[in-house]
Structure 1
Amino acid sequence: MNLQSDKEWWTQQWIDLLNSYRFKKRLERARNYARQGNVLSLKFKEQRIIAQVQGTAPEPYKLSLWLDTFSDEDWNYIIQTLSERAIFTAKLLAGEMPQNIEEVFAANGLRLFPFTLEEIHSRCDCPDKARVCKHIAAVYYLLGDRFSDDPFLLFQLRGRTQEKILAELRQKRGQSEYEKATETEQIKSEKTQEQQSVTNSIYATSVIPENIKLEQIWEYNQQLDSSLIVITPSPSNETILDVLGKISLGASTDIVMDYFQKIYQNISQQAVITALKQGEDEGDNA
């Protein structure tokens, strides 16, 4: 079992939540239980975690953990919001938790990660009446490794399995691509009909100048009116750094990432300013 700090951010967030528990000696015993293999079994059964932990008694203790699940309506909104962010879909399909995934849940008035330990429900049949006994805490620590291997387990605890989430995301993305393709085909069809109509009209009047090429009749090579051109920044604030994720440079990581972020922001702003200036110059020369 790995209890080091070099974990994925979502795993570390789970461990940090447990480490906020004020009974430190109990947590230390729980870590020892986790390291020494006292957690005999740990299974995900629908939206619950079922485990057996060997304590001081001859028979292992049985316990369960669970989070509040989201309704089907909540999940419909979540999936819709996720499908509108291609980078989120790509990272989830790659088995990675997007860094700012909580934005999606917050936009729908929800949270993926529990904010406090009180939001994690648990039950153990040991005689310890504490809300978080050492057996439950030992399972918490092991869950960190499980979440590291499979971030979708967090979604499962909230009421949606990996298979269903990915299927719904593919369906949403597929519908979007289908709608775009259908619209494109419709435009092509209308354009073909218009071309055919014009061609028929030209042939009907027998007026076809020799220098006209019918395949180029719809090409427009004149300068556009500047008032028809609108230049705006990208609606997404994501840069290539967001797509690639955080690079690992040891102690210098945050400094380098901040520096790169500033560079990308300056480049983006300068690109918009340059484009706007060129648009104004062309408008003045028109």
Structure 2
Amino acid sequence: MTHASEQLINREWWVERWLELLDKYRFKKRLERARNYARQGNVLSIEFKEGKVLAKVQGTEPEPYELSIWLDTFTDEDWQYVIETMSQRAIFAAKLLAGEMPGNIEEVFTASGLSLFPFKLDEVHSRCSCPDKANPCKHIGAVYYLLADRFGDDPFVLFQLRGRTKDQITSALRQLRGMAEDNTEGETQPTPASPVSSPLDLNRFWQYEAQLDSSLVVIAPPPSSETILDVLGPISLPSDAGTPANPTPVMEYLQSIYQQASQSAILAALNRDAS
């Protein structure tokens, strides 16, 4: 198993994409030297300035080499379209404002003919002050590997390399979401009943009749096939003789009730009759 393949385990999907890109590089020996540089602490510093990554890597010379890495940035018009599209998808806006990367974020970019991630290593531009004419050299490669960790800690670094910082994106999203809410509030709405004249109806407490945003409703299988009955384990039933009764029939009955309740919930969420 290669180092890059090991790194894919338990990593965020956008980090996997970056490491897969690097793993396709045909000069494997150079990649191995780059990994050693990264592991041994030869990368002295990494900072992000505007849309570039600036780093210092200690090589064989007394003075560290200085290098830069950058991607092609998107135009203001491209970013305006992308952010507007994000704001219209409630789940996108919610995740990004929470500092998370939506799993299908690429859909927003591909809809306008863009790609957040480079398709090949040649699309990642770099320059190093070392005498090695090959690009990427082992110093640049070492920074590539450490960038994967930075992407994992802060996914907004990817947006910054494309021309927009985290603050710029979240600020624009909040503004657009706020404008949408103001427009909704400006529409004629029924006057809510006074809590004094209309006491709380406990029978209707869990009912919600307003239309939900479709992007907020996701019906998906649970991450585990275990049910609450599996977690609780076999139950003990007392008997008149003082020895536990066979719990199998009871467990089978409870399993059937659990399955029926689950199916009814899904049908209700889909607005279909359970018959």
Q: State the TM-score, normalized to the length of structure 2.
A: 0.70
2:184 to 180, 198, 206: 180
Change in CA separation of 1:82 and 1:270 when aligned onto 2, cut-off 3 Å: closer
1:127, CA displacement in angstroms? 1.2
Query: What 5-or-longer segments of structure 2 have no aligned partner?
Result: 192-196, 198-212, 226-261
Change in CA separation of 1:96 and 1:237 when aligned onto 2, cut-off 3 Å: closer
Count of residues in correspondence between the two structures: 215
RMSD between superposed Cα atoms in Å: 3.0
User: 1: distance between equivalents of 2:120 and 2:100?
Assistant: 24
Whose radius of gyration is greater, 1 or 2?
A: 1
Match of 2:29 in 1: 25
- Three-state SS of the structure 1 residue aligned to 2:140 is helix
Which letter maps to 1:44?
A: F
Match of 1:121 in 2: 125
Q: How does 1:273-284 map to 2 (within 5 A)?
A: 273-274=272-273
Which letter maps to 1:148?
A: G
Match of 2:103 in 1: 99
Residues 210-244 of structure 1: CA deviation (Å, up to 9, x unaligned): xxxxx9xxxxxxxxxxxxxxxxxx855961549xx
1:105, CA displacement in angstroms? 0.5
Which letter maps to 1:14?
A: W
1:131, CA displacement in angstroms? 1.7
Match of 1:7 in 2: 11
Confirm or deny that 1:89 pairs with 2:93.
yes
1:121, CA displacement in angstroms? 0.4
Confirm or deny that 1:60 pairs with 2:64.
yes
User: 1: distance between equivalents of 2:169 and 2:176?
Assistant: 11
Match of 2:143 in 1: 139
Residues 113-168 of structure 1: CA deviation (Å, up to 9, x unaligned): 11110110000111111121110010000000001000000000000000010000
2:218 to 239, 252, 258: 239
Which letter maps to 1:51?
A: A
- Three-state SS of the structure 1 residue aligned to 2:273 is helix
User: 2: distance between equivalents of 1:119 and 1:6?
Assistant: 26
Change in CA separation of 1:29 and 1:85 when aligned onto 2, cut-off 3 Å: same
Change in CA separation of 1:76 and 1:270 when aligned onto 2, cut-off 3 Å: closer
Query: What 5-or-longer segments of structure 1 have no aligned partner?
Result: 189-214, 216-233, 250-262, 278-286
Which letter maps to 2:35?
A: R
Which letter maps to 2:103?
A: Q
Identity across matched positions, percent: 62
Change in CA separation of 1:62 and 1:174 when aligned onto 2, cut-off 3 Å: same
Q: State the TM-score, normalized to the length of structure 1.
A: 0.68
User: 1: distance between equivalents of 2:216 and 2:175?
Assistant: 26
1:95, CA displacement in angstroms? 1.5
User: 2: distance between equivalents of 1:273 and 1:37?
Assistant: 59
Change in CA separation of 1:165 and 1:241 when aligned onto 2, cut-off 3 Å: farther
Bigger fraction of residues in helix: 1
Confirm or deny that 1:111 pairs with 2:115.
yes
Kept in 1: contact 2:35–2:145 (CA 8 A): yes
Residues 17-65 of structure 1: CA deviation (Å, up to 9, x unaligned): 1111011111111111001110011110000011011111221111100
Which letter maps to 2:55?
A: A
1:271, CA displacement in angstroms? 3.7
Match of 1:75 in 2: 79
